[in-house]
Amino acid sequence: MKKRIFSGMRPTGALHIGHLSVLQNWIALQSEYECYFGIVDWHALTTGYADRLDMRGLIRDIALDWLSVGLDPEQCAILIQSNVLEHAELHLLFSMITPISWLERVPTYKDQIQQLGKEEGKDLSTYGFLGYPALQAADILVYKADAVPVGEDQLPHIELCREIARRFNFMYEAVFPEPRAIIGKIAMLPGVDGRKMSKSYHNAISLTATSKEIKTRVQQMITDPARVRKDDPGHPEVCVVHRFQQIYQPERIAEIEADCREGKIGCVACKAQLADILEKLLSPFRERRLHWEEPGRVEKVLREGNERARETALATMKDVRQAMGL
Ligand code: TRP
Ligand code: SF4
């Protein structure tokens, strides 16, 4: 029997190339594991509850992004969290056994309240936001997932999920596995301005970028300010283009660095190379997107994904109810 995987993303708008390494990690696992990938719209509401989000549009967008990059609905169930109500039931039951102190000591919890409060004027001193990691634990455990492929930033949440599973198994019956995180190699991409790549900073290259948008974004990348003329010696370590070259042309990076230091390659040429590589990376996604954009296709994938997910989740909830004497 195949081991199971669950992972999810919040539908918060177009994905960018910074998300690609996590998605490629998912894709690499989809033949080996029984996979469930969730569009976690309730999680998006924990921070966006006052934003009047166009949730249906956001869900369709992220599903299209996933399919365009290469998630295969024949191999994995793509589901919408709010369409599989067992997530909510399990979250409620976990809320009974999860000490508040466990939630409060998740490292990002207080930071996020502070940061999103200051930057975006959001009031996150809510019940739902405190429970974010308990809901995440329910997402994972409602499928009895053995493993969770995520970025490193999610490790504290996975640890909490394991603790909740352990506590449940100890208090009632051994129903749940203790899922392990699968951390892929994640390329930490900067935005074109050198800050963290983020949609809200307008410094991201989206997965759906057109050839023209790719060129514009690469133009905007900050290079070594000491290079005024093309043969001035450069310092690749301060250059955003160089950080991208490291990730996308690792086999040529020594040569690029040497040429830059010796003033043998100009920034214009260096950027043109990078734009070419990004174009090759993203153009297959555009083609696949055209297929999935046909009316009804995404809807069908989600309908079938929800159904497969529900079946598994329902079986788990039978065990849970029985273990708790419900
Ligand atoms: N918290 C995750 C993130 O921000 C999203 C998420 C919700 C998730 N539920 C999950 C990830 C379950 C993995 C498993 O990226
Ligand atoms: Fe950056 Fe390339 Fe210019 Fe060097 S040549 S500063 S690596 S863009």
* pLDDT digits 0-9 by tens, 107-150: 989 999 999 888 889 999 999 999 999 999 999 999 999 999 99
What does the DSSP 8-state code read for residue 199?
A: G
What is the C-alpha end-to-end distance of the chain, expressed in Å?
Answer: 29
Asked about 271 being catalytic, the answer comes back as no
Q: pLDDT value at position 186?
A: 74
- Ligand 1 surroundings by CB, under 6 angstroms: 6-10, 40, 43, 136, 139-140, 148, 150, 154, 157
Say yes or no: CB of residue 149 within 6 Å of ligand 2: no
The answer to whether 224 touches 274, Cβ cutoff 8 Å, is no
- What residue ranges of the chain have pLDDT lower than 50? none
Position 285 scores a pLDDT of 96
Query: What domains appear along the chain, each with residue ranges and CATH number?
Result: 4-188+295-324 (3.40.50.620), 199-288 (1.10.240.10)
User: In the prediction, which pLDDT does 128 show?
Assistant: 97
Instruction: Spot the catalytic one: 3, 199, 215, 264.
Output: 199
Catalytic residue among 118, 185, 212, 318: 118
Which of 219, 267, 268, 277 is the pocket-test mutation for ligand 2 (most atoms within 8 Å of CB)?
Answer: 267
Element (H, E) at 38: strand 34-39
